[in-house]
Amino acid sequence: ESFSNWQRARKLKASYQKKVANKHKDYLHKLTTHLVRQYDVIAIEDLKVKNLQKNHCLAKAIANASWSMFRQMLEYKCERYGKELIVVNPKNTSRICSKCGFNSGAKPLEIREWTCSNCQVHHDRDINAAVNILHQAMPNGQELAVVNS
């Protein structure tokens, strides 16, 4: 009796986890299809997922798996739709001011906004990094569009 209860509980847990994973995958599919349809050129950071996966924190492991899936989907969808995917070196993208280029060093992840000590421009951490990624991808200054998803 208690064994079958345990089995039932285990089955429920597995089906719940599968449901969450499917929902998550579905979201990534919608997001990547939207991006590839909307934009001709997409730039992403070449994050070293393998190194990060050694991390034992579950949330980070999931985030890494999501990133890999997101990138794979972008890669094959860009190819399918004839769009360009540019992968840039992630070095300093969150340290450099996208306005003046000043490198103010590493900032802990909990710092979501900061002000450049050189030019005094106030930055949202993610948008500043996204602009830096675009600058690297398109150094000749094509029109930039930043998607904040």
Can you give the binding site for Zn ion, defined by CB under 5 A?
97, 99-100, 102, 116, 118-119
| CA distance to 29, 31, 66, 120, per residue, from 72 (Å) | 10, 13, 10, 38
Instruction: Return d(Cα 121, Cα 34) in angstroms, integer.
Output: 31
Minimum distance, C-beta of residue 47 to Zn ion, in the bound complex (Å): 24
Minimum distance, C-beta of residue 73 to Zn ion, in the bound complex (Å): 34
* CB of 24 or CB of 95, closer to Zn ion: 95
Minimum distance, C-beta of residue 36 to Zn ion, in the bound complex (Å): 32
Length of the chain measured in residues: 149
Minimum distance, C-beta of residue 117 to Zn ion, in the bound complex (Å): 8
Q: Give which of 25, 67, 34 is closest to 147, Cα–Cα.
A: 34
* CB of 81 or CB of 102, closer to Zn ion: 102
| CA distance to 51, 54, 80, 95, per residue, from 25 (Å) | 23, 22, 19, 31
* CB of 106 or CB of 119, closer to Zn ion: 119
* CB of 38 or CB of 120, closer to Zn ion: 120
